[in-house]
């Protein structure tokens, strides 16, 4: 279900997940076919609008997985990735997908060194593939690979030519992840001033700006956003689904029709399937997102979670944790022992805090509940014998 964006010429934002294509292209990542189907189903249940699920022309297991996902009859549009080659597109159509991404490089450095062709050849190949796809009735995204390093004028020509050939949208690929949000905003604004076409942002995280750049493109008028679960993807990865959606919801304040409560479960599943563990400090779904240890933070959160939490942990499937350790204060200690039915007065809490800090420094980590209870028992014994 697209996200409403009132006040824009293109008034909806569509999410396009490419975990199963760009995500799997990550060096060293291979999903089993059953995992691919499961991830596709989870994304569909979440409400993602379009899933890019693989490259049919690779054949074998890749093709089988694509066919299985098509057969699952999901609500989401199912897209396959292609080079700007008619045979590739034919292969995709044979798999039964309703949408194709047709990809070709548009930057001079790629055209000259990788393709060893000309700009004219790029336009011709793209047009042939697009016309063939449209004749077969599928939705078409034309991917301008390395768009961020493409000459502005040629990119506009490429987009206009694609539209005239029948393409439904242009995928703007910051293939190398070399833009910042200000540059991204300017590039998309320029492009949209020259060509009236739907644009998808496809951003990479080489400088840690994939999510920011995706948002900058949307702000400039792009209306599709390409993402992957956990930001999985080539090299430093892509814009992360969970980050982009939560930023649209909480940084911008739009109503979002994505079931965000399933984020944590999906992230964990993809982390396991990809063999890429989630860092605890990962934005939105990392286990530290709602762990509070520092005394003033924990005290604030206990009084009102909004003091140090932008949204409730349940909203992304996480739980709040008040961690007791070196940086804890008496409020957190009292609150923790209340869970065990023990009411500490200020004096007891202060005395326990000294012990908690000492043990935490010794162990170089926060304490488990068991350790807290034994510190309490030790303290009570000392108190009685005093
Ligand atoms: Zn990519």
Mean pLDDT to the nearest integer, 211-237: 97
Q: Are 240 and 211 in contact, with CB atoms under 8 Å apart?
A: yes
Topology of domain 3-274, per CATH?
A: TIM Barrel (3.20.20)
**Distance, CA 154 to ligand 1 centroid (Å)?**
21
Ramachandran category for residue 290: left, alpha or beta (phi over 0 → left; psi -120 to 50 → alpha): alpha
Mean pLDDT to the nearest integer, 65-77: 98
**Distance, CA 239 to ligand 1 centroid (Å)?**
10
What pLDDT was estimated at residue 296?
Answer: 80
> 352 phi and psi, to 5 degrees?
-65, -40
**Distance, CA 234 to ligand 1 centroid (Å)?**
6
What pLDDT was estimated at residue 301?
Answer: 84
**Distance, CA 129 to ligand 1 centroid (Å)?**
20
**Rounded Cα gap, residues 68 and 173, in angstroms:** 28
**Distance, CA 18 to ligand 1 centroid (Å)?**
9
**Distance, CA 111 to ligand 1 centroid (Å)?**
17
β-pairing verdict for 50-52 and 77-83? parallel
The closest of 28, 104, 89, 9 to 56, measured between CA atoms, is 89
Would the pTM of this model clear 0.85, i.e. be above it? yes
The closest of 48, 33, 10 to 240, measured between CA atoms, is 48
**Distance, CA 202 to ligand 1 centroid (Å)?**
6
Mean pLDDT to the nearest integer, 311-317: 95
The whole-angstrom distance between residue 104's C-alpha and the CA centroid of its chain comes to 24
Q: Of all residues in the chain, what percent carry a pLDDT higher than 70? A: 100
Mean pLDDT to the nearest integer, 109-137: 97
pLDDT exceeds cutoff 90 at 292: no
pLDDT exceeds cutoff 90 at 254: yes
The whole-angstrom distance between residue 9's C-alpha and the CA centroid of its chain comes to 25
- Condensed to tens digits (0 to 9), the pLDDT of residues 325-350 reads 999 999 889 988 998 899 999 999 99
- Condensed to tens digits (0 to 9), the pLDDT of residues 7-36 reads 899 999 999 999 999 999 888 999 999 999
**Distance, CA 266 to ligand 1 centroid (Å)?**
21
Q: pLDDT class for 321, splitting at 50, 70, 90?
A: confident
**Distance, CA 63 to ligand 1 centroid (Å)?**
20
What pLDDT was estimated at residue 298?
Answer: 78
**Rounded Cα gap, residues 202 and 246, in angstroms:** 18
- Condensed to tens digits (0 to 9), the pLDDT of residues 146-163 reads 999 999 999 999 999 999
**Distance, CA 296 to ligand 1 centroid (Å)?**
42
**Distance, CA 172 to ligand 1 centroid (Å)?**
10
**Distance, CA 297 to ligand 1 centroid (Å)?**
38
Q: pLDDT class for 70, splitting at 50, 70, 90?
A: very high
What pLDDT was estimated at residue 213?
Answer: 98
**Distance, CA 229 to ligand 1 centroid (Å)?**
13
> 148 phi and psi, to 5 degrees?
-65, -25
**Distance, CA 26 to ligand 1 centroid (Å)?**
10
**Distance, CA 258 to ligand 1 centroid (Å)?**
23
**Rounded Cα gap, residues 241 and 283, in angstroms:** 11
**Distance, CA 305 to ligand 1 centroid (Å)?**
37
**Distance, CA 204 to ligand 1 centroid (Å)?**
6
**Distance, CA 277 to ligand 1 centroid (Å)?**
21
| Residue at token pair 């520092």 | 294
**Distance, CA 149 to ligand 1 centroid (Å)?**
14
**Distance, CA 156 to ligand 1 centroid (Å)?**
20
**Distance, CA 160 to ligand 1 centroid (Å)?**
22
Q: How far is CA 184 from CA 65, 78, 172, 193, in A?
A: 34, 27, 10, 14
**Distance, CA 210 to ligand 1 centroid (Å)?**
11
- Domains of the chain, by residue range, sit at 3-274, 291-385
Mean pLDDT to the nearest integer, 101-124: 96
Q: Are 192 and 155 in contact, with CB atoms under 8 Å apart?
A: no
């Amino acid at each position: 279900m697209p996200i409403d964006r009132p006040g824009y010429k293109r008034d909806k934002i569509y999410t396009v997940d490419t975990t199963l294509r760009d995500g799997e292209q990550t060096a060293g990542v291979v999903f089993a076919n059953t995992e691919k189907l499961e991830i596709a189903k989870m994304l569909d249940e979440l409400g993602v609008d379009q899933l890019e699920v693989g490259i049919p022309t690779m054949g074998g297991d890749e093709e089988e997985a694509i066919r299985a996902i098509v057969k699952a009859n999901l609500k989401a549009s199912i897209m396959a990735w292609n080079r700007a080659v008619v045979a590739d597109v034919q292969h995709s159509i044979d798999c039964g997908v309703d949408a194709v991404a047709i990809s070709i490089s548009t930057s001079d450095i790629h055209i000259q060194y990788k393709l060893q062709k000309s700009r004219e050849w790029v336009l011709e190949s793209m047009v042939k593939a697009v016309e063939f796809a449209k004749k077969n009735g599928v939705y078409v995204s034309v991917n301008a690979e390395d768009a961020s390093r493409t000459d502005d004028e040629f990119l506009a020509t490429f987009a206009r030519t694609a539209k005239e050939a029948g393409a439904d949208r242009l995928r703007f690929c910051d293939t190398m992840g070399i833009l910042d949000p200000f540059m991204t905003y300017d590039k998309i604004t320029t492009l949209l001033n020259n060509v009236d076409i739907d644009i998808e942002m496809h951003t990479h995280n080489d400088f840690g700006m994939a999510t920011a750049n995706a948002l900058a493109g949307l702000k400039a008028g792009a209306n599709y956003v390409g993402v992957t679960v956990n930001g999985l993807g080539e090299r430093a990865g892509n814009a992360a689904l969970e980050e982009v959606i939560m930023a649209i919801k909480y940084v911008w304040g739009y109503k979002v029709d994505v079931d965000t409560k399933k984020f944590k479960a999906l992230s964990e599943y993809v982390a396991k399937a990809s063999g890429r563990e989630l860092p605890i400090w990962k934005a939105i779904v990392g286990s530290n997102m709602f762990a509070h240890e520092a005394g003033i933070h924990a005290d604030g959160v206990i009084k009102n979670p909004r003091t140090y939490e932008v949204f409730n942990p349940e909203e992304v499937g996480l739980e709040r944790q008040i961690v007791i350790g070196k940086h804890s204060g008496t409020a957190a200690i009292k609150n923790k022992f209340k869970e065990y039915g023990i009411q500490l007065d200020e004096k007891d809490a202060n005395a326990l805090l000294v012990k908690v800090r000492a043990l935490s420094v010794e162990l170089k980590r926060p304490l488990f509940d068991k350790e807290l209870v034994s510190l309490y028992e030790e303290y009570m014994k000392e108190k009685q014998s005093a």
